A and B are shown apart, each in its own frame.
Chain A
């Protein structure tokens, strides 16, 4: 196995860029860890997420897990720019637990193959179990091959064949599964432990809490007891308001879990202090501000298809709580904005007296408009009346006594009656 190339901070020759400024500006992010692989030429490039502080002599590249996520930073390394001496990139990220998890990625002289070595705390002695190895092999047997024996200092070594990765959607699925190999290992180990919940076998350290770190800085403990397995989640939050919202959620969780309707669900409890099972653990693991949430998993919760759901729920409990807290904060903000509009409206709303005044004014205007209309029509009528009188004078020049009355009564021109019903006074 050939060594990889050393990448200097000043000029990373393997991709021909001067990335020192870029690299120094980026902080180490010891959170998730995973790999996404792409290789230029076959449509795949190597993708890394963050870089540590880079010294002059070597670079530490920290890869970021995207288990279930799709966010990652892309960096393309051209194989043609690689120097003749191959560099060895040691990938490590400390997660704050006792044993550091190490990843080792080495690109061999053959660009087709890449070797990935993983070192992870084991839940039992004797290395990875057969079940875990089967789960890893089940990722994609064409692309991922387990090399035995594993590299010294590591529990598992994989050989990745990029040429066999199909293109487009299938390829992306395989890449996602490969990058989630850590999650597969932890979930298979937890699954195996839960499957043996009723087993009478007692192995060394059976009653001791086993620390699992699915997400960095968020460890949880698994304690094997007769007929059940207890999982304890120490909860930590950055903000005091998050602590309060989460505590309210844990109380509701405890209330719902203890009700008769949910008797089949695992009993759940919350306590502000560490449970007695965790005595002896490190202080940094037990210092929390959100208390401790415990679930008692029995055999009924791991039968058949429930096993996968149970494992998934336990491994993603932290994510579920954090998402609930975040969405509750958003809900509170939306509600406050909506209420603000209502409160301001009260201040600017007209009072009932003003409304009456306005309505009265409107009637007055209407009345005035009507009067205006009447005056115009009157003017027009007067003009027509004058004209008709003139015509009459011209026509009726011969005066006959008494004829005027007769004419006024019977020979009167028709007049349009007004809507107001006014009678003209003579």
Chain B
């Protein structure tokens, strides 16, 4: 299990190192504007091919690159209903405080439109959290540091969700024990 995670993270790290070659590029359509091209996607010549790295059916990472920006979207594993709500709550909590992270996007990216997937299913196929890194971030911060942060974030999220689930179950067990003590 740990080996697959290591391989997954190593693959993401190598891809990010190759993709994070960003430079300043003013908007071609609007004068004196400078926009992250990966968000607008108006000029195909400025976009690179998106890369999807899948660990399994439940976990994947989408890396979309352009000339001046890079977007990383993550899908976190959710084994049961409790992990599902814990993940949603936690990632929504972080997204609402995106300014603290600077590179975090407030809303996760929905999945790419696929022709063979019905529209109703697309919403459930979306990602859980997204990062947007621009050339300005690369100028202010170090590239290897950003990559380390992304990889560390992925590890920490998995760990935190597991710990939260364990804590909730432990609390439930303690409360159940105390409740049943009344009958003895």
Binding site for B on A (CB under 8 A): 240-241, 244-245, 247-249, 251-253, 255-257, 262, 264-266, 268, 301, 306, 309-310, 312-313, 317, 320, 324, 327-328, 331-333, 335-336, 339-340, 342-344, 346-347, 351
- Inter-subunit contact B85/A240 (CB<8 Å): yes
Interchain CA distance A395-B61 in the complex, whole Å: 92
Interchain CA distance A268-B142 in the complex, whole Å: 57
Does B156 lie at the interface of the complex (its beta carbon under 8 Å from any beta carbon of A)? yes
- Inter-subunit contact B164/A241 (CB<8 Å): no
Which residue on B lies nearest to A243, using beta carbons? B81
- Set of chain B residues within 8 Å of A264, measured between Cβ atoms: 183-184
Interface of A is mostly: helix
- Set of chain B residues within 8 Å of A347, measured between Cβ atoms: 101-102, 149
Contacts A/B (CB < 8 Å), 18 sampled: A245-B82, A252-B172, A257-B176, A262-B177, A312-B182, A313-B179, A313-B182, A320-B175, A324-B172, A328-B168, A328-B172, A331-B168, A335-B167, A336-B89, A340-B97, A342-B156, A343-B94, A346-B153
- Set of chain A residues within 8 Å of B144, measured between Cβ atoms: 351
Report A210 CB to chain B, min CB distance, Å: 21
Report A325 CB to chain B, min CB distance, Å: 10
Does B55 lie at the interface of the complex (its beta carbon under 8 Å from any beta carbon of A)? no
- Set of chain B residues within 8 Å of A255, measured between Cβ atoms: 173, 176
- Inter-subunit contact A313/B89 (CB<8 Å): no
- Inter-subunit contact B102/A252 (CB<8 Å): no
Does B136 lie at the interface of the complex (its beta carbon under 8 Å from any beta carbon of A)? no
Report A290 CB to chain B, min CB distance, Å: 13
Among A310, A333, A336, A346, contact of B183 (Cβ-Cβ < 8 Å): A310
Which residue on A lies nearest to B83, using beta carbons? A244
- Inter-subunit contact A313/B173 (CB<8 Å): no
Among B84, B100, B152, B172, contact of A340 (Cβ-Cβ < 8 Å): B100
- Inter-subunit contact A332/B175 (CB<8 Å): no
Does B139 lie at the interface of the complex (its beta carbon under 8 Å from any beta carbon of A)? no
- Set of chain A residues within 8 Å of B168, measured between Cβ atoms: 245, 248, 328, 331-332
Which residue on B lies nearest to A336, using beta carbons? B93
Which residue on A lies nearest to B153, using beta carbons? A343
- Set of chain B residues within 8 Å of A343, measured between Cβ atoms: 94, 101, 153, 156
- Inter-subunit contact A257/B180 (CB<8 Å): yes
Report A316 CB to chain B, min CB distance, Å: 10
- Set of chain A residues within 8 Å of B97, measured between Cβ atoms: 340
List B89-108 residues whose CB lies under 8 Å from chain A.
89-90, 93-94, 97, 100-102
- Set of chain A residues within 8 Å of B172, measured between Cβ atoms: 245, 248-249, 251-253, 324, 328
- Inter-subunit contact B177/A309 (CB<8 Å): no
Which residue on A lies nearest to B171, using beta carbons? A328
Report B106 CB to chain A, min CB distance, Å: 15
Interchain CA distance A335-B167 in the complex, whole Å: 10
- Inter-subunit contact B183/A256 (CB<8 Å): no
Report A35 CB to chain B, min CB distance, Å: 29
Report A425 CB to chain B, min CB distance, Å: 49
Interface of B is mostly: helix
Contacts A328-B168, A335-B167, A347-B149 given; indicate if A252 touches B82 (C-beta within 8 A). no
Does B42 lie at the interface of the complex (its beta carbon under 8 Å from any beta carbon of A)? no
Report B43 CB to chain A, min CB distance, Å: 31
- Set of chain A residues within 8 Å of B102, measured between Cβ atoms: 347
- Inter-subunit contact A252/B173 (CB<8 Å): yes
- Inter-subunit contact A340/B142 (CB<8 Å): no
Interchain CA distance A57-B182 in the complex, whole Å: 50
List B38-92 residues whose CB lies under 8 Å from chain A.
81-82, 84-86, 89-90
Among A251, A320, A335, A351, contact of B179 (Cβ-Cβ < 8 Å): A320
Does B145 lie at the interface of the complex (its beta carbon under 8 Å from any beta carbon of A)? yes
Which residue on B lies nearest to A335, using beta carbons? B164
- Set of chain A residues within 8 Å of B149, measured between Cβ atoms: 346-347
- Inter-subunit contact B180/A241 (CB<8 Å): no
- Inter-subunit contact B164/A256 (CB<8 Å): no
Report B162 CB to chain A, min CB distance, Å: 12
- Set of chain B residues within 8 Å of A245, measured between Cβ atoms: 82, 85, 168, 172
- Set of chain B residues within 8 Å of A301, measured between Cβ atoms: 183
- Inter-subunit contact A332/B89 (CB<8 Å): yes
Interchain CA distance A333-B93 in the complex, whole Å: 9
- Inter-subunit contact A256/B177 (CB<8 Å): yes
Among B84, B152, B164, B180, contact of A265 (Cβ-Cβ < 8 Å): B180
- List 18 additional A-B contacts (Cβ < 8 Å) besides A248-B82, A262-B180, A332-B86: A244-B85, A245-B82, A247-B81, A248-B168, A252-B173, A252-B175, A252-B176, A262-B184, A266-B180, A309-B182, A310-B182, A317-B179, A331-B167, A339-B156, A343-B153, A344-B100, A344-B101, A351-B145
Interchain CA distance A309-B180 in the complex, whole Å: 11
